[in-house]
Amino acid sequence: MLGLKSTTNPEWAKIVEANLGAFLTDHAFAEQKAAAGGFSLIISYSEETELVKALSEYTIEETEHFKLVHDFMTARGFKLGRDTKSNYAAHLLKFFPKTKDRIESLVSRCLIAALIEARSCERFKTLADYTSDKELEQFYRDLIASEAGHYSQFLKFAKSYQDKNVVDKKWDELLTYEAIYMETQGKTPLVHG
């Protein structure tokens, strides 16, 4: 799905169902971190007008998603818990060597954002496909298209800032790196864990 090189074991959906409050807290914060990532890119690349326009929409959408998840969880009687650090994002950030080249760094950030969005989609689909909770299934199906759009947009921006073949190679290597990490995951009620 979306080029990913590993698939989540459906057993993960059962772990989520058994720990729904913790999962929804993690998801709510993932949406907020996505919005924060968009704002951070706007601050770092304010002169990139097309990117800033797209990110203006993106930050609104991700903030709306945060609200949707928060509303869903409170309707189910859950309270937003405390945020935990995302090991997934920290692991992905280690893939690209640190650089002072602004465009190189922008491409890396777009590719990592694209991958986080792609994996979110895959996890939401896994949950929707394997849960027996019809309302939960619909909630996650409704989010998939929006997150898939974010994935495509970040990948498109990455390819607009560097040679397409160079970006394709980086993307392919990043997908392999992520798939190796994901083989060890799927045991916790986290969107990317």
List interacting residues with Fe ion (CB under 5 A): 31, 34, 62, 65, 117, 147, 150
CA end-to-end span of the chain, whole Å?
18
Closest CA to 115 of 86, 141, 140: 86
Spatial distance between the Cα atoms of 75 and 79, rounded to a whole number of angstroms: 10
| Least distance from Fe ion to the Cβ atom of residue 190, Å | 15
| Least distance from Fe ion to the Cβ atom of residue 31, Å | 5
* Residue 9 vs 32, nearer CB to Fe ion: 32
* Residue 9 vs 63, nearer CB to Fe ion: 63
Residue 144 CB neighbours (<10 A): 17
* Residue 115 vs 175, nearer CB to Fe ion: 115
* Residue 60 vs 180, nearer CB to Fe ion: 60
Spatial distance between the Cα atoms of 182 and 177, rounded to a whole number of angstroms: 9
Look up residue 93 and give its two tokens.
Answer: 């950030």
Residue 99 Rama label (left phi>0; alpha psi -120 to 50; beta): beta
Spatial distance between the Cα atoms of 65 and 74, rounded to a whole number of angstroms: 14
| Least distance from Fe ion to the Cβ atom of residue 92, Å | 15
Instruction: Specify burial of residue 71 (Cβ count, 10 A radius: 0-12, 13-18, 19+).
Output: exposed
| Least distance from Fe ion to the Cβ atom of residue 115, Å | 12
| Least distance from Fe ion to the Cβ atom of residue 2, Å | 12
